[in-house]
Each structure stands twice: as structure tokens, then as C-alpha cells.
Structure 1
């Protein structure tokens, strides 16, 4: 902050917002580079870093990470296309996710990815079938559900018994043996991921210890376990708590699996990009109430879904702070949903129409989760580098949205004619 103005690197954000319009996402290139390098230094060169693309799939950001040497953790065929377009080697791509389709598996096999993280016996059979048809061996790692509570929000916990993710720990040995006996499969190791926004390292320690024990059991049974994918989920502060240090996280890795002589990978998403991004918005209307002003802004839950989905509270600052007593306010968006609310803020002066504000730590699961609900176009994204900026996703128009729905063609449904099955993508 200089002379009362909020800056992202050397750029005055109030001036940027006035120039480009709002809402808008902006990211710091330097912050992304620093986050990656700090993570890489902490875990060491023996641990591969695969960015969780679901956190932020912008092509320019993926390209920047790829140039730093980062691999990618993907969960869809679309994310695979993005990773490849960003210049990521297929040999640095891991395909996670519980619902891989035949088409996605085919796409990934043809690309020659590093491995599939398999989440069920059914998925294992499907990968084997597709690989057989293409005369290749599919590299697979079993994602194990270790039955560990990550002590995070219920909706982003993924490693407890009963969660939809992973293979029950008690069944993993048997399924690994089955994979080893299948000619079209190449079982390479194990994977685990217990959740997101994790602020306590003890769940990692428990999960990694259980995976290490399973790896030792499999090796004792004569099955090779060359790789361990340790997942991601390490949290950031959002201004409310102190996250675990990277060095402490790296120590947990060394203490639990460091002696197994396996290739190690981690899948950070939020920790690499979360603090690098902000969402800029403008105040539209003020509705005074007895206890707090209702402040209506031009950004909404379709632009930043985390508050509506998880009750998350992003820190807010004015782009041109001004003195004055604090007045509590509830910041809300224009979408016709009561869930379109960003939270109660008690530190800001009385806001006025036209004021510009920034939601901090919005780089992860912000633009990536955005939608066009209420026919609201996707907002632009900007990358800042020192005193320059680049628009890395231009502002969508309503006309572009409607173009996808234009010129409907009626077709007769004939059970014997399957020629129109591809029409929805035409």
C-alpha cells in the first residue's frame, strides 16, 4: 500500500479496476513463483510437485507453473487438454478423480500420462478394458481411503470412511494384487488425499503412516510399490489463522514415508495459488439496517462461490481506504439467492456506492468455480508482473453465452439410427 492506495506488485488496483471494469480477478506473478519455489525448497528435489488444476485452470497460470518445472494433477479430460496445452509433459501428469469416463481414460492413455489414481474396483476394470483395447499397459496407483479425519470443513473432507473418495484401506491389498495379475495394468504405487484447507499436520501424519504400512505389506507380498502420491490440501490463512509451515509439512513426509525409497509426489493447489489472487468489485447500493448496512456489490456467488458453498470469509479491503469509524456491514451480491452473501465485516468504514473493494486470497477455487448463473458472464482474469499486466481471460459477453444455444435443429429420434449421438458437440 502506497499513499493509501492498494497495490498488486507495482500496479495501483484502483486504477486497474477503473480501466478494466469490475468484477475482475487479478493475480500476482511474483507471488505464484515465490509460492512454488518455497514449496519446492521445503519438500526437496526428490518430491515431485503436481499442481491441482482444479484450484485454478487458467492456461497462462498453468504455463507459468509448467515453466517452473511443476507437474499437474488433473480430474477431467478437459483439465488434461489444458495441461497439455500449457506445455506440461504427459509424464508429469497424474489423473485423479472418482468418475473417469471411458473417453477420458482413452484420451489419457493416448497422451501417455504418468499414472491414473484409481478410486474403485469398477474404475480399475474399466481402465484395464480400455488399455486392452489399445494394446497398452496402463500405469495405475490405488488411491486409498485411510479413514482419517482431516479436521477441515465437512464438504472438503475426502479421507474418512464413507467419503466418496478412495478405496477402503482393508480392501486395497486385494485390489492391488488383482491389478498386478491383469496383463493390461501396471500397478506402480499408492495414492492418498484426505481433504482441502488442512490446518493441522497430525491428520497427514496418520494418513501417511497408514499408507507406508500398506506399502510395506504389499512389498512383503512380492508386489512392487515404486510410487507414493501423498495428495495435497495444505491450507492457507484467509487472514483468520496461521497455516502449517512448509518445513513442518516436509518433516512429516520425511518422518512417515521418507525411508521407503519410493518416488514421491504431492498435489498442492490452494497453497500455490490461493494467496496470489484477489477479486475486485464495486459497491452498487447501501441498505441501512438497525445493526449493519447491507452492502450490495457487483460481484456475486457465481463469481466467487466459496462463501455460499462453505461459509468461507475472505478478508476485504478498500482499494482507496479512507479514515472514519468502522460500521458493520453485510456484503452481498446481486444474484437472486439468499446464499449470495460474502459475510459480515466490522472493520470497514461506512461504504458508499462507487467504492471499490478487494476480496483477498481468492486465487484458488474462485474463477475456477465461477458460473454464468443469472446470465452473468464470466469475469476477466488479469496477471500482474511488476508494473505491467496481461488479460489472461477476457470478459465474456452475453452474446457469446447465447451463441451456444443458437439455431436449434430438430431431429427425429430413430432407435436404429445412432448417427446423431455426437450432435451435442457439433
Structure 2
């Protein structure tokens, strides 16, 4: 469920009409619903009720400071994958005790930053990283809390580019070597082993791969405890999918996920961490765009809009589907037109949808790409020297720009022409 609904023929974000925001800030722009973000976080938090747990928002999905602060104020932790995300988390008011640092390529500078500023744990993904973290921690005279990310070799049957739990993927260490690696970690004076980490991929719409992976984690927990390790946290990653198309089967409910976690892992007495990103932010945001031209080809009609692949790259990068709806509700019974929806970037890949049936549209009409709150603005670029689009947060009947559109002078000032040119 989200809070983007038609009211009196106008598409609303909670109690604000999206066309009113468009008139104020211009198009294209991202719009997020505070009520939807809040609802999705609480559903996940409640799903794990009765179990000691922490819901850590995966900042890579949406790292806007206002979004992160909103979730942090609700009690969320965050999962970061870079020093920049760590700095954003702290700037948004997230205490170090609620920050988990993941990622395969942490640098020593990033490790030092997190140890100085406070950290809940590092999810270590390789032995070289483990040795580097030990060295940094000993130099600083501290111990770094760690969970080793194990790769359970579970194929989540998701998109090739977002699958992370197979033996050929770059993440984690093989679960078959876990006891050896934990033994090595326990012998490093700069590390404190606190748990196990696992993450098998993103946009999963079936609980079976999760359960398969978590059963392996349960077996590993028993073995590691028998070896003398104090395993008290299980980081289960994120990955639960969202419905990008109304026609698709609904993904499992958070409550179903929580019930499965309790059934498989509940008797271990471990604190549970989960790292959802898309499930919290995905359907909490839309990208609003305006039609520039309607171009009639010999065999196709093209809806040329002012948003482009640099603003929302998921369709070009993953072949991802986003439902597209007009800001003015279609009149019942009107005959649909079929369009290829494309942007102005000089790439054939700058295509949002092909042969999409919509009520007839004309230049100046506005549309919204739904389910754009995750991996939208964070993956945007200034390709073709197009300014990053603004982000707007709505709460009830009020809205605020939470990231402004840069002007061209700002963009040009980032470049420097050397004196000798």
C-alpha cells in the first residue's frame, strides 16, 4: 500500500496534488510520502515483534538525509556501504550504535572513520578485509565488532545483476570455509566476533530461498558456538521484493517473513538484524515528468518526456518495469493509445517503456513513474549535462524540497580549466 491515490481526478501524494508540486518546483522531480515510509518501516518492525531485533534501512536504496532522519526517528538503524553513506547516516542523526557497515571494498580510511565515529558492527566479506580491519583497530587501540558475511550458495532466482548469494558472486566467504575464517578472526586482537551475516539478493518474491539460507545459518550458528564463538547476532540482510506491476503476484507479507524467521531461527536466542531498502522506500516514491512531444512514427508512437535514463536508470540498466500513470485521471471508457515512453538523452537505451497502453496524452501533460522511491535518485547522474532532479518530501498537506535542483552555474563551477589552456 502507498499514499499516491487519485482524488477528484488528480493524483495526490497524501493530501498534496502532484501537479501543485510540479508547478512549484518544475519537472522532473522525485516525490516521497512520509506516511508510506513510516507505514512500511512499522510493518517490518512489527513483523519481528517478540524477537530482539533491529531494522536497519539499506541506505543504498535512498540516502536523502530527510528520508534517513525520518526513519531514524522511528527507531531504525541503517546499513551503509561506503564512508560517504556513513557520514550521511551520522549527519541524519543516526547513532553509531545503530549503523552496520557492509560492502566488499571497505578502505582503511573508511574503517577508521567508522571506528572513530561509532559503529554497531562491520560485516566483513573477505579475509584480506578482516586483516586490514584488525590492523586499523589495533593501531587505534580498540576492538572492531564484526560479523562475517557467509555465502550460502543459494540461488534466489532474481535478476542477474542483483543476485548476491551464489558461489560465483563476489560477496562474502563460502559457508564451507566459515569455521576456518571464524577461527582466524577469533585470533586477531583487534576484532570482536559478534555474529553472522548473510544476504542472498534483492527483489525476492518467494520466501523459500530465504528459508533455505537461514537454515544453513542456523546450522552454522550451532557449529560456531560449539567452537567457542559468542554468536549473538544474526544479520539476515534484506531483499524482500515489492510489486512493481499491479498484475504481478503479490510478494510475501512482512508478517509472513517474520513468522518464518521466528520458526527457523527463534530458538537460537540471537538478536536479529534485517536490512530492507526497497521494501521501505520503493513504493514510497514516484518520479514526475512532463510530456515534451508526442512523435508519430510509421509503426510506433513515442511519448518523449523530460525525465531521462540519467534520472531513473533502472529500466535501461535492469530492463525494470515501472507503472506509468497520468497526473490527471483518465476518463472512464476512453480508448487507450499505445506508446514507447522515452527520454531526451542521446541513447537508444533511454527508454522507460515500450508499447505501453495509456489514455491519450499530449505535450504539456504530466505522468508519474510509480515505485521509484528506491534506486532512483541515488543512482542518478548528470549525463548529457542534465541537472540532478529535485527530491520532495510530503507529509499530510505539506511538502518540502529536500534536495534542490542545481542550476547550471553550480554545475559549471565544479569544473576547472587549467591556466595553460
User: What is the TM-score when the length of structure 2 is the normalising length?
Assistant: 0.95
Q: Does 1:39 align with 2:44?
A: yes
Query: Which residue does 1:23 correspond to in 2?
Result: 28
Q: Does 1:118 align with 2:124?
A: yes
Give the alignment partner of residue 284 of structure 2, picking from 273, 276, 291.
276
Query: Which residue does 2:3 correspond to in 1?
Result: none
Query: Which residue does 1:187 correspond to in 2?
Result: 193
What CA distance in whole angstroms lies between the structure 2 residues aligned with 1:255 and 1:296?
50
Deviations 1:225-284 (A, max 9, x none): 111100001100012421111111111111211111111100000111111100000011
Q: Give the aligned CA root-mean-square deviation in angstroms.
A: 1.2
Larger mean CA deviation between 72-81 and 166-175 belongs to: 166-175
Deviations 1:362-402 (A, max 9, x none): 00000011111111111000001111101100111222122
Query: Which residue does 1:3 correspond to in 2?
Result: 8
Deviations 1:94-148 (A, max 9, x none): 0000000111011011112010000001100110111111111111110001000
Q: Does 1:294 align with 2:302?
A: yes
Give the alignment partner of residue 386 of structure 2, picking from 348, 372, 376.
376
What CA distance in whole angstroms lies between the structure 2 residues aligned with 1:326 and 1:250?
42
Query: Which residue does 1:262 correspond to in 2?
Result: 270
What CA distance in whole angstroms lies between the structure 2 residues aligned with 1:17 and 1:335?
21
Query: Which residue does 1:343 correspond to in 2?
Result: 353
Q: How much has 1:291 moved relative to structure 2?
A: 3.9
- Contact 2:48 2:258 (C-alpha < 8 Å) held by counterparts: yes
What CA distance in whole angstroms lies between the structure 1 residues aligned with 2:94 and 2:239?
22
Deviations 1:270-322 (A, max 9, x none): 11111110000001111213443111100001100110111011001000134
**1:91-106 correspondence runs (5 A):** 91-106=97-112
What CA distance in whole angstroms lies between the structure 1 residues aligned with 2:409 and 2:264?
54
Query: Which residue does 2:228 correspond to in 1?
Result: 222
- Matched residues, number: 410
What CA distance in whole angstroms lies between the structure 1 residues aligned with 2:74 and 2:322?
28
User: What is the TM-score when the length of structure 1 is the normalising length?
Assistant: 0.94
Deviations 1:170-192 (A, max 9, x none): 11110101000111111111100
Where in structure 2 are there 5+ consecutive unaligned residues? 1-5
What CA distance in whole angstroms lies between the structure 2 residues aligned with 1:55 and 1:409?
41
Query: Which residue does 1:231 correspond to in 2?
Result: 237
Partner-residue secondary structure (3-state), 1:371: coil
**1:4-403 correspondence runs (5 A):** 4-44=9-49, 46-239=52-245, 240-241=247-248, 242-323=250-331, 324-403=334-413
Larger mean CA deviation between 256-265 and 92-101 belongs to: 256-265
Give the ranges of 4+ consecutive aligned residues of structure 1 lying more than 3 Å apart after TM superposition.
407-410
What CA distance in whole angstroms lies between the structure 1 residues aligned with 2:224 and 2:16?
54
Q: How much has 1:345 moved relative to structure 2?
A: 4.6
